[in-house]
Copies of this chain bind each other. A is one copy, B any other.
Amino acid sequence: MPQAHAMQPGRQKDSRKAILDAAERAFADFGFGGASIRAIARDAGVNQAMIHYYYQNKDLLFSAVVERRAGEINDRRNKALDALFDNAVPTLEELVEALLRPTIELGHDVERGGDAYARLIVYFNNSADERSQRVAEQNYDPIARRSIDAIMKVLPQLGRADAVRGYLFAISVALSVMAKTGRAARLSDGLCDDSNTEETVSTVVAFACAGIRSLANGAAGTRKD
């Protein structure tokens, strides 16, 4: 049985972390089925049996990859929500930014491998298979429910179904930026940058907030331009 944390820091290489990092990249690049344990082991610089030694099987490895990052992201989101609702009711912009910023910032943190995890979120968030929905449910449903409740407090005229839609739409817009497919750059002939974190946050937040407010106004609004 592997020990949770047996070595003193720096004394030997941390194979556990190397495996998670490589697996994160592989799952993000090739999906669950396309990623191979052998390639992950090679990329991590460890013997392939080490992966089963620490994570039992491919499914649990996938879960472990997600859990490592989700904890950090949701801690930040929860603390931001605590602060926002401490005294009064925040604006919709403040709320949406609190929800999206942690993920966007991690996605821009290339040195910590956050870009790979961002692509991995995009992957399982948009996949209907049981495994993807399991990690989404376990790691992101609690904060999602809290966020939806928060949206309804900020916009009381919004029904629950529309609050859910608004939350999911906002997430999907934010994730579309983080997929890093290169399509935006291709279609804009390099004009779209997306490397500036603050610009990305403010653009996505503005888009999402305007969209969410349109749900409150009902789909009746017919405009003239």
Contacts and interface: CB of A to CB of B under 8 A. Distances in A.
Interface of A: 28-35, 91-93, 119, 122-123, 125-129, 132-133, 136-137, 141, 144-145, 148, 154-155, 159-161, 164-169, 171-173, 175-176, 179-184, 186-188, 191-192, 199, 202-203, 205-215, 217, 219, 221-225
Contacts of A219: 199, 202-203, 205-206
Contact of A32 (B31, B119, B159, B214): B31
As for how many copies of this chain the complex holds, the number is 2
A214 B223 contact: no
B188 A129 contact: no
A186 B223 contact: no
A125 B211 contact: no
Nearest to A203: B219
B187 A148 contact: yes
Contacts of A29: 128-129
B129 A126 contact: no
Give the one of A145, A165, A199 with max B CB within 10 A.
A165
Nearest to A213: B210
Nearest to A219: B202
Nearest to A147: B187
A136 B91 contact: no
B34 A187 contact: no
A42 to B, nearest CB: 17
